[in-house]
Amino acid sequence: MVARTAFFSIIIIGDELLTGSKVDSNSTFISAKLAEIGVDVKTIMTVGDDEKEIIDALGFCVTRSDGVIVSGGLGPTSDDKTKDAICKFVEVNMVEHKEILDDIKQRFSKRGVDMPEPNKEQAYQPEGAILFRNPVGTAYGFEVYKDEKPIIALPGVPAEMKAIMVESVIPSLKEKGFGLSDLHILDAKVVGLAESAVYDAVGPLREWAEKRESICLAYYPHFVDVTVRVKVRGEEEFAEKMFKEAKSILEDILGEKLYGYGEDGLEIVVGKLLRQNGMTISTAESCTGGLVSNRIVSVPGASDYFLGGVVAYSNEAKSNLLGVSEKTLSTFGAVSPETAEEMALGVRKKFASNIAVSTTGIAGPTGGTAEKPVGLVYIGWSYDNELGSKKLMLGEMTRDRVRLYTSQMALDVTRRILSGMSLE
């Protein structure tokens, strides 16, 4: 058992990460999950698909950490070197597992195809390893030991890594005594405020926390929202009492900017509200190009409340598919509150949904004018007998950021309407 705070290292493997072809998001997720159980990350390294480099990285990390998590290089191709490197490092052989081979064959069979020959390699695992089944792919994770310290290997594909990390690795680490068993975490999600504004706003929460040795706060800014984390050390009953007090303070000072607790994004919050109210939604999108509907349908069970959406980029599409009048378009333009509202009304009529939301704007980097600059966006809505719109001035953001932030605000508008909140 680890009586103190455990320190882990993370090694991310892949040539594509060193060349800039891909961005590492795995270490961020792994670090966050370890932090939730009170395990601190001491080192994060990125190495290429080179056996010697992987072995050297393992040697460096094992001497400085209580455990190591490796992500990447577990695939069936010749450039996947992780298993061989780990076997050499811990001095064990690779052995075949017939049950893994049968599992992989069955997965391909369910897709109506034969298992490719290279995938047979994935049935070979380090001798004596604890195996972690991959619920969404064919690369199993595993755990071996060096100097009584765990070395955990996970796939590099983010969805596969996340599934094994959450379903197998975290429970296993907790069972082995890594982390702090008396650590409890509350995450509060804030929308529409920058990190500095959130920090200023939660002054009363800081004052409350500073009076209690067992409580500390952290702030995690994301582009579309900010997470305020409350960490409590103590028995569960005590933690629940502290969380109740923290929630009361947060709700008083943040009000409607506070959209939820835990890991749920706005698309999940909106989905829950729609389901609770027995309502349906449709979307009409221009500048977001389907991003709002994409986020809505990313939630399992979205078919219960999402009826459909229209991406109407051109004026002709806005007119022909959504019924936006030519007079509105010629008088006010495609990027206007009038057009946003008619888009929302048109798509709501088309799908007969209870509520509809629309987006129209100038994502840039070109297309702006002095009167309508890049970053000007209107979000429209139609609900009951009401039509409305919200103006955003997003400035010189990148095109992708304009689209992403607009999708977040469209979901927030929907949340506010469904919750009976103000739209200011």
CATH code where residue 232 lies:
3.30.70.2860
The domain boundary, picked from 115, 149, 175, lies at 175
Q: In what order do the strands lie in the sheet with 215-221?
A: 215-221, 226-233, 183-190, 258-261
Domain count within the chain: 3
8 Å CB contact between 155 and 141: yes
pTM: 0.81
The domain boundary, picked from 144, 175, 206, lies at 175
- Residues 160 and 196 reside in one and the same domain: no
- pLDDT-derived band at 240, boundaries 50, 70, 90: very high
The domain boundary, picked from 120, 153, 175, lies at 175
- Residues 60 and 107 reside in one and the same domain: yes
- pLDDT-derived band at 181, boundaries 50, 70, 90: confident
- Residues 272 and 410 reside in one and the same domain: yes
Residue-wise pLDDT for 19-73, tens only, equals 999 999 999 999 999 999 999 999 999 999 999 999 999 999 999 999 999 999 9
For the beta carbon of residue 20, count every other beta carbon within 10 angstroms.
Answer: 7
- Residues 109 and 242 reside in one and the same domain: no
CATH code where residue 133 lies:
3.40.980.10
- Residues 231 and 283 reside in one and the same domain: no
Of the chain, the percentage scoring pLDDT greater than 90 comes to: 94
- Residues 70 and 12 reside in one and the same domain: yes
SS3 state of residue 34:
helix
Is the pLDDT at 262 greater than 90? The verdict is: yes
Q: What is the DSSP string of 335-401?
A: SSHHHHHHHHHHHHHHHT-SEEEEEEE--SSS---SSS-TTEEEEEEEETTEEEEEEEE--S--HHH
Domain-located, residue 2: no
pLDDT of residue 3: 43
- Residues 409 and 270 reside in one and the same domain: yes
Domain span including residue 110: 7-175
- pLDDT-derived band at 263, boundaries 50, 70, 90: confident
Is the pLDDT at 158 greater than 60? The verdict is: yes
